[in-house]
Amino acid sequence: MKPPWLNKKIRLGSCSGMKSLLRGMKLETVCETASCPNMGECFSRSRATFLILGPQCTRSCSFCNIVKGEPLPPDMGEPARVAEAVKKLELKHAVITSVTRDDLSDGGAGIFADTVSNIRKNTPEVTIELLIPDFKLLPDSLQVVARSGPDIIAHNMETVPPLYPSVRQGSDYRRSLGVLAAIKKVSPHIKTKSGIMLGLGEKEAEVIAVMSDLRAIECDFLSIGQYLAPSKLHYPVKEYIHPEQFAYYKEKALSMGFSHVESGPYVRSSYMAGEYLK
């Protein structure tokens, strides 16, 4: 049984307009593919996180609802369509993420950069956030996305190191830290951001250690949310974290030097993303 503070419902009726626009432009969102509980709220405000490089992921993280499988070749027209959607929706802050594309030599970094370039041409006043995969820590790929000029580059740690083998198959904790560290080295002015989920079986000391590791590489922003299993086939929820514990983690993170922290049961990496730069 979920506790009373986890009673948000996805209001599908408020999503129809956004879904129609996105389907008409042949665009995907992580809001839909990851079954985000905030989708109704965000879609009703004409906010969405674009999912580029196709809907199939080459990795098999047990917490994630995105389809696993062999992806199609990149759609070279996708960056222009994302930029057009950003303009049509009159977004002030655009968030772009992707599946992991280990099948591509650059991991899809070039498509990310093209998307930023197209948005800058169409709507130069819009701030841009990229939520990137680890690109296998390829230096060239990380340089391509960093030098494309987004305002924020995010890469989620997701969970604590001991849980990586069962939760983030195919990923590596130190490699993920290395992604954020490399971005800061290439473009120190870019704000970096990460996110973690709670309720997977982590210990408090482990969560604080992840925060400390992120601050050691000068990560600016942090999101902390409750893990909710998309289905019975996914990694099970081990614990529902009380809102007071989320408030404690936020206070702790801010005391460590994070510039902005969102922490709460329904917080997700891209939820209220535009607030981080204010």
> 71-130 pLDDT, tens per residue?
999 999 999 999 999 999 999 999 999 999 999 999 999 999 999 999 999 999 999 999
Q: Which amino acid is at 160?
A: V
Tell me how far apart the alpha carbons of residues 171 and 100 are, in angstroms, rounded to a whole number. Answer: 10
Residue 163 buriedness (CB in 10 A; 0-12 / 13-18 / 19+): buried
* Mean pLDDT of all residues in 245-262: 98
Confidence of residue 12 (pLDDT cuts 50, 70, 90): low
160-194 confidence digits (pLDDT tens): 999 999 999 889 999 999 999 999 999 999 999 99
> What is the per-residue pLDDT for 118?
98
Residue 88 exposure: Cα atoms within 13 Å on the Cβ side:
14
Tell me the C-alpha to C-alpha distance, in Å, between residue 204 and each of 151, 163, 210.
Answer: 31, 13, 10
User: Could you state, in order of their start, the residue ranges of all structural domains in the chain?
Assistant: 12-277
> What is the per-residue pLDDT for 42?
84
Give the CATH number of domain 12-277; options: 2.40.50.140, 3.20.20.70, 3.50.50.60, 3.90.1150.10: 3.20.20.70
Question: Which residues is 153 bridged to in the sheet?
Answer: 130, 192
Question: Which residues is 127 bridged to in the sheet?
Answer: 93
> What is the per-residue pLDDT for 19?
82
Asked if pLDDT for residue 16 goes beyond 80, the answer is no
Asked if pLDDT for residue 132 goes beyond 90, the answer is yes
Confidence of residue 13 (pLDDT cuts 50, 70, 90): low
Q: In the predicted model, what is the mean pLDDT of the chain?
A: 93
Q: Which two tokens mark 28?
A: 């995907």
> What is the per-residue pLDDT for 39?
82
* Mean pLDDT of all residues in 45-73: 88
- Is residue 92 within 8 Å of 127, Cβ to Cβ? yes
Tell me how far apart the alpha carbons of residues 143 and 97 are, in angstroms, rounded to a whole number. Answer: 17
CA 214, 186, 212 angle in degrees (round to 5)?
10
The strand pair at 28-29 and 49-52 is best described as antiparallel
> What is the per-residue pLDDT for 15?
72
206-237 confidence digits (pLDDT tens): 999 999 999 999 999 999 999 998 888 899 99
Q: Which two tokens mark 1?
A: 């049984």
Backbone angles phi, psi at 52, to 5 degrees: -105, 170
Tell me how far apart the alpha carbons of residues 89 and 8 are, in angstroms, rounded to a whole number. Answer: 25
Q: Which two tokens mark 117?
A: 């370039």
Asked if pLDDT for residue 14 goes beyond 80, the answer is no
> What is the per-residue pLDDT for 164?
95
In angstroms, how far apart are the furthest CA atoms of the chain?
49
> What is the per-residue pLDDT for 43?
81
Asked if pLDDT for residue 10 goes beyond 80, the answer is no
> What is the per-residue pLDDT for 36?
82
Question: Which residues is 85 bridged to in the sheet?
Answer: none
Tell me the C-alpha to C-alpha distance, in Å, between residue 157 and each of 35, 200, 271.
Answer: 20, 13, 16
